Amino acid sequence: MNNFDKLNEVIKYIEINLTDKISIEKICQILCVNEYTLYRIFNFITGISLTEYVRNRKLSMAGLELINSNIKIIDLSLKYGYDSPISFSRAFKRFHGIKPSEVKQNSNYLKNFPPFTFANDVLNNIQLDFRIQKENELNFYTISKKCNLQDIKVVAPSFWKELEASNNDTELFHDTTFGIIEYDELFPNPKTANYHIASKKHFNNSSKLVIPASTWAVFQVKDISGEAMSCLSFYVYKNWIPYSGYNIRNIPEIEIYYKDHTEWWLPISSHTICF
């Protein structure tokens, strides 16, 4: 079995239960994580929320069924878990671009959203340098920028360059600096985040940010490029968290930039390990 085995089990479970009740508790049991960690892992690995994935799969299959059968729209809406034909029709049109009643008109196209499959990749066997560390409340001075989650890999480096160019307190960039990612509160499907550039010292236009006491999984990145950080976080979400015995806490993540390496601090809490 490869390192995506648990995610493939999740997809298989969803496919089997597309027309029944999909139990989030069951999916959590498959991945051996809590609900918050489940949504974070799925969104990070796939780039789409679990809720949206399930909805897209249902609507994709509903379109095929409308083409290939004489099922009534009211029955199809109930089959895929919608409260009424009206709510189903609205969701169907948002996804496919046409109403269910228009499906059998030959001039119309339908969207196909196939099930995800996960396979091994070149990152499967990299060595992780990490430690588990407990810290009391952490205090920072930060300047922040809000952005969509999918844009953060572009926004963060640009924000650093912008601050370096405009900030007169040049000593800030000679000391250890911090990047802090604070997700919005739209659980389970956050859409935006605040990216903070932070220091232990006050600097121009900065505000105080307090992060509560926590246990942290601290990962070392010797290559301090953004690409290296992205590869590390992808690997941790895919291969480390589902097998580690830890869940992710809903508090900010921290990147610490030293002169010769970077650390990524992921806030965690323990849970029962599943094998």
Architecture of domain 130-270: Alpha-Beta Barrel (3.20)
Q: Using one digit for the tens of pLDDT, what is the confidence trace for 174-215?
A: 678 899 999 887 666 778 899 999 999 888 889 999 999 999
CA distance 253 to 60: 35
Q: Please identify which residue in the block is written with the tokens 């956050």.
A: 190
Domain 5-102 and domain 130-270 have a common topology? no
Q: Tell me the two tokens of residue 91.
A: 């969701």
Query: What are the DSSP E strand ranges found in 58-213?
Result: 130-135, 138-148, 177-183, 192-199, 207-211
Q: Using one digit for the tens of pLDDT, what is the confidence trace for 82-117?
A: 999 999 999 999 999 999 999 887 667 788 898 988
pLDDT of residue 122: 40
Q: Tell me the two tokens of residue 41.
A: 């892992």
CA distance 266 to 275: 23
Q: Which CATH number fits domain 5-102: 1.10.10.10, 2.40.160.40, 2.115.10.20, 1.10.10.60?
A: 1.10.10.60
266: enclosing H helix or E strand:
strand 262-270
| Sequence spans of domains, the chain | 5-102, 130-270
Distance of CA 64 to the CA centre of its chain: 29
pLDDT of residue 171: 60
User: 177-183 and 214-221: which strand pairing?
Assistant: unpaired
Q: Please identify which residue in the block is written with the tokens 């239960």.
A: 17
pTM comes to 0.78
pLDDT of residue 61: 93
Q: Tell me the two tokens of residue 237.
A: 């979400």
Q: Identify whether the C-beta of residue 4 lies closer than 8 Å to the C-beta of residue 115.
A: no
Distance of CA 107 to the CA centre of its chain: 37
Closest Cα to residue 19, out of 75, 78, 72, 80?
Answer: 80
Spans of the chain below 70 pLDDT: 1-3, 106-107, 120-128, 167-174, 186-188, 223-228, 271-275
CA distance 42 to 50: 6
